[in-house]
Structure 1
Amino acid sequence: MPGALAAASLLLAIPASAATPSPGAPGIGDPYYPYYGNGGYDVSHYDLRLRYQPRTDELEGTATIQARTTQDLSSFDLDFLLDVSEVRVNGAKAAFTHSQQHELVVTPKTPLAEGTTATVVVRYRGVPSTKSAYGFTAWHRTPDGAVAADEPESAWWWFPSNDHPSDKATYDVSVAVPDGTQAISNGTLQSTVSKLGWTRYSWRQNKPQATYLATLALGRFDITTGTSEGGVPVINAYSKDLGDNDGAARASVERTGEIVDWLSGYFGPYPFSSAGGYVPNTTTGYALETQTRVYYSPKQFANGSNTSVVVHELAHQWYGDDVSLKRWKDIWINEGFARYAQWLWSEHEGESTTQELADYVYDSHPAGDAFWTVRPGDPGPDGQFDIAVYDRGALAIQALRDKVGDQAFFAVLKGWPRDHAYGNASVTDFRRYAERVSGKKLTALFDTWLFQPVKPGASAARAASLAKAGTPVAQPRSWKRIAATDDVHGR
């Protein structure tokens, strides 16, 4: 046995003839967020075994990360904020230190050769609500626990990771909480075990998932389960202290199964093992498409039921979660299509048509409006969640539909998630795909609607069957309900 272990160590060591090992980059190479994600490895699985005390907000855990190296590594970074007591790489203790605002730098005892598998174990603990980076926190305390849900980052506050959507992985999340408290995460609940006053909830996400889409909700919930007519398991949860928002939240989120089946008609079969959402008692105002288990703020239901926001976040399960962006500049693939799904829902509900909504967006923003200076195809980090990414982004989709015709358009909508399932893609990838399906050149159309910082001229508007400049367009009946979701991703 000792001989076998020695041989395994030699296989992981750098051969004398190999290139000199070097540190992995502290960022994955996304210009919007230079220190998000890391270079030198690719993660395949996160196994998180946690213990949480809601009274003190103390979290302790062991993260076991399965990864494969993409270069000869002398050291590598993980994105993380909590206090680390030990790191092991392939069983051997590794040196570690914190760097920058959220970097955990790990130096293995033996350098890692390119193309080898690595098992990284990180033991840690801390009080997430006391940690911040870049002036904010993505860990949200509630009266009975806490929630991890934010975009473009939330993982740093509860598990070490390669925090960028381009490195997706599967997950096992097992959390022990005091009896009476529940732990909710992504995917399916594998087991619930109670012992000595603590209950452990074990969740599994068996399809690749971006780190920002991993969520954790800790508190006292009323949990409902069911199956959609199309056969998709649905798990929803509502904080037991939602107060006056409880009824409207349930009237909205309990339609998840119906909406998933309806969206499947446009986007193809639902891509994950379960669907659902949760509404904790938080003070935040946004919603987030956390994979299979959407996060909704109670404020989304302050004025009554809100199925439009449910449609928006569930549309992301295909556009954003199943097919994720390559770089954060590709955010239009997420938000433009989720907004357009709201327009389709409006038409389905017998209210305003997609064309009426597109005409109104075009007409309600004059040429000098700053709305047109935002480029949805590359809005910049400060404009990533600007309303123009949503509304001008959906307007671009309507322009595409009018250009290629309904048959090709709906073939694109359904084929894109199928042909790029569980992967990553860019705006350019989408344009090329739409060109291949439709047989039309679309470079000029995409440039006009997604990349030019000006309002498209009247000729372009006519070509897309949109309202001509100067022609008043009445506000569509569904506009206020759709606009009520404008802050779904505002921090």
Structure 2
Amino acid sequence: MKSVLVAVTVLALAAPVGGGTDGFRPGAPGIGDPAYPLDGNGGYDVRHYDLDVRYEPATDRLDGRAAITATATQHLSRFNLDFIGLTVDEVTVNGRAAGVRRDGDELVVTPARGLLKGLPFVVAVRYHGIPETFRVPEIPLESRFIHTDDGALVAGEPESAATWYPVNDHPQDKATYTVSVTVPDGLTAISNGVPLATTARDGWTTWRWAATTPMASYLSTLAIGRWRVDRHWHDGRQTIIAVDETLPPTLADDAVARTDEITDFLEGLFGPYPFEANGAIVDRHDPLLFALETQTRPVYPASFFGDGPNPFDDNLVAHELAHQWFGDSVSVRYWRDLWLNEGFAAYAEWLWSEHNGFITVREWFNLMYDSPLDDALWTPPPYDPTGATEPFRISVYSRGPMTLHALRLTVGDDAFWRIMRRWVVEHRDGNAGTEDFVALAERVSGRQLDGFFTAWLTGSVKPPNPDPLPPGAAKAAVPTIRNLHR
């Protein structure tokens, strides 16, 4: 009986386009995000990426195979994948050769047979080339697929995944991953999640990783190089910390070594850590001018750390670890909701700072609040409900956490912490927007808060300060604030 069921299932996976089955149409070339209209794609939902890449740093060439398991959310005649720059060698859908063409950074795939709504299908893509690096020369800054002196590093927001594999590149379509990376002997390849078997043959080593919890594509990472690696178990999961071996141990090691300690502190605030592994990647590459909350393994630039123990270094680690809850587990529905990532992580950073005996939450709040209204810390506001404007703005890191602190003072500690914990539970492994958070805050607190959130997130004037410092209170940390934006 099993063989008959398998045969029926295979036949049902695809139907001839126009061959007696009506309603087949192309998937949308974008997922519908107002800020980035062509990010992501419509018509399907990815369940799993199985990636197998080989990278040669000497030539910067990457050869890859991607098997993408997805489910059609409509009767599909064709669909798009986000894919930047690399040359496509072959595409199959359910084992049959598919039509493929380029449309800018979109890969347009036409399967031999239409795909029926609600049924799974598998897209296999073979490809090769030199991955593109996004550069801003005047800063200078590099992101997405970064070619380093001893290998490569993938990190970038809102886009990076499409530079090394075909993908539905938007946080709304999370998936699990298995990643195999083959590199020359002597190099280590690190990705998200837990390590699997490592094998070596003919001068090459293959490193295998599995991210078993759904992950937004921009949070996937690949780090190839020579690392000082610490692997240990903590609270039933592996913590894997990789630091560029050319860095002195006194630079970043002390801060990232507090990963478990800081995670434990954040668990006490927000509930259980949401993933199967933890860790850090610290790379020495001058144009890497940002840290990123890549899932289970945040990426940090060496230049963000000072020599020896430093509370600002610890704050940086706290910020990226807090993102594992806010941004990674609970992801934005659209990029206009970015303050739900950055504002929450920044507030967690303030809470750690106070716990660590550094700057108190009240002091952080007032350092931000006292900046002039025309300063980027205030203007433009952190949230544009239309989503039409650029969401990556400094105010998400300042007015975002100020909004949370003001909410805490408005509804009281008991309601505030119930709001924060329920937010994590209700939207775990999913997506949510600002309207969802406002509704939750009102439901838990029993208060009408539309006016409050409008004033703090979109208003053009400063709301009254609910927690002022006494006159003459020290503000010695003001010069450091602008170095904290990431």
Q: TM-score, normalized by length of structure 1?
A: 0.91
Matches within 5 A, 1:372-383: 372-378=378-384, 383=390
Matched, 1:99 2:103: yes
Deviation at 1:5, TM superposition (A): 5.1
Q: Which moved more, 1:294-303 or 1:22-31?
A: 294-303
Matched, 1:285 2:292: no
| Other-structure match for 2:317 | 310
| Other-structure match for 1:109 | 112
In structure 2, the CA distance between the partners of 1:106 and 1:136, relative to structure 1 (3 Å rule), is: farther
| Other-structure match for 2:63 | 60
What secondary structure sits across from 1:191 in the alignment? Answer: coil
| Other-structure match for 1:294 | 298
* Counterpart-to-counterpart distance in 1, 2:169 and 2:374: 38
In structure 2, the CA distance between the partners of 1:108 and 1:297, relative to structure 1 (3 Å rule), is: same
Matched, 1:223 2:229: yes
| Other-structure match for 2:474 | 474
In structure 2, the CA distance between the partners of 1:324 and 1:11, relative to structure 1 (3 Å rule), is: closer
Matches within 5 A, 1:204-353: 204-228=210-234, 230-242=235-247, 244=248, 246-283=249-286, 284-302=288-306, 304=308, 305=310, 306-353=313-360
What secondary structure sits across from 2:198 in the alignment? Answer: strand
Aligned amino acid, residue 465 of structure 1: D
In structure 2, the CA distance between the partners of 1:240 and 1:447, relative to structure 1 (3 Å rule), is: same
Aligned amino acid, residue 279 of structure 1: V
1:342-397 superposed Cα distances (whole Å, 9 cap, x missing partner): 111121122322122212211222x4445433221228576423221111111101
In structure 2, the CA distance between the partners of 1:387 and 1:3, relative to structure 1 (3 Å rule), is: closer
Q: Which moved more, 1:87-96 or 1:274-283?
A: 274-283
Deviation at 1:227, TM superposition (A): 2.8
* Counterpart-to-counterpart distance in 1, 2:444 and 2:244: 45
Structure 1 unaligned segments of length 5 or more: list them: none
Matches within 5 A, 1:22-41: 22-41=25-44
What secondary structure sits across from 2:78 in the alignment? Answer: strand
* Counterpart-to-counterpart distance in 1, 2:233 and 2:481: 27
* Counterpart-to-counterpart distance in 2, 1:370 and 1:178: 45
* Counterpart-to-counterpart distance in 2, 1:295 and 1:131: 17
1:278-310 superposed Cα distances (whole Å, 9 cap, x missing partner): 112222111000000000011111465411110
| Other-structure match for 2:483 | 484
Matched, 1:182 2:184: no
Aligned amino acid, residue 286 of structure 1: F
Q: TM-score, normalized by length of structure 2?
A: 0.92
Structure 2 unaligned segments of length 5 or more: list them: none
Matched, 1:148 2:150: no
What secondary structure sits across from 1:73 in the alignment? Answer: coil
What secondary structure sits across from 1:329 in the alignment? Answer: helix
Contact 1:360–1:473 (CA under 8 A) maintained in structure 2: no
Aligned amino acid, residue 216 of structure 2: A
| Other-structure match for 1:83 | 87
Contact 1:271–1:317 (CA under 8 A) maintained in structure 2: yes
Deviation at 1:455, TM superposition (A): 2.1
Matches within 5 A, 1:454-473: 454-456=461-463, 460-461=464-465, 464-466=466-468
Deviation at 1:69, TM superposition (A): 0.7
| Other-structure match for 1:443 | 450
* Counterpart-to-counterpart distance in 2, 1:285 and 1:381: 26
Deviation at 1:399, TM superposition (A): 0.6
* Counterpart-to-counterpart distance in 2, 1:346 and 1:4: 57
* Counterpart-to-counterpart distance in 1, 2:436 and 2:355: 29
* Counterpart-to-counterpart distance in 1, 2:103 and 2:327: 30
Q: Give the alignment partner of residue 173 of structure 1, picking from 175, 179, 184.
A: 179
* Counterpart-to-counterpart distance in 2, 1:261 and 1:154: 30
Matches within 5 A, 1:132-143: 138-143=144-149
Matches within 5 A, 1:367-406: 367-369=373-375, 371-378=377-384, 383-406=390-413
Q: Which moved more, 1:435-444 or 1:247-256?
A: 435-444
Contact 1:232–1:257 (CA under 8 A) maintained in structure 2: no
- Counting matched residue pairs gives 473
* Counterpart-to-counterpart distance in 2, 1:339 and 1:85: 44
Aligned amino acid, residue 109 of structure 1: A
Deviation at 1:2, TM superposition (A): 11
What secondary structure sits across from 2:53 in the alignment? Answer: strand
Matched, 1:434 2:441: yes
In structure 2, the CA distance between the partners of 1:480 and 1:223, relative to structure 1 (3 Å rule), is: farther
* Counterpart-to-counterpart distance in 2, 1:147 and 1:257: 24
* Counterpart-to-counterpart distance in 1, 2:10 and 2:87: 31
In structure 2, the CA distance between the partners of 1:370 and 1:62, relative to structure 1 (3 Å rule), is: closer
* Counterpart-to-counterpart distance in 2, 1:130 and 1:369: 31
* Counterpart-to-counterpart distance in 1, 2:266 and 2:216: 22
Contact 2:92–2:98 (CA under 8 A) maintained in structure 1: yes
* Counterpart-to-counterpart distance in 1, 2:83 and 2:36: 15
Contact 2:262–2:318 (CA under 8 A) maintained in structure 1: yes
* Counterpart-to-counterpart distance in 2, 1:130 and 1:140: 6
* Counterpart-to-counterpart distance in 1, 2:102 and 2:134: 14
What secondary structure sits across from 1:8 in the alignment? Answer: helix
In structure 2, the CA distance between the partners of 1:12 and 1:323, relative to structure 1 (3 Å rule), is: same
Deviation at 1:335, TM superposition (A): 0.3
1:122-141 superposed Cα distances (whole Å, 9 cap, x missing partner): 001111147889x9862111
* Counterpart-to-counterpart distance in 2, 1:103 and 1:11: 24
* Counterpart-to-counterpart distance in 2, 1:56 and 1:395: 47
Contact 2:133–2:142 (CA under 8 A) maintained in structure 1: no
Aligned amino acid, residue 233 of structure 1: Q
Q: Give the alignment partner of residue 412 of structure 1, picking from 411, 419, 429.
A: 419
* Counterpart-to-counterpart distance in 2, 1:426 and 1:220: 40
| Other-structure match for 2:129 | 126
Identity of aligned residues (%): 47
Deviation at 1:420, TM superposition (A): 1.3
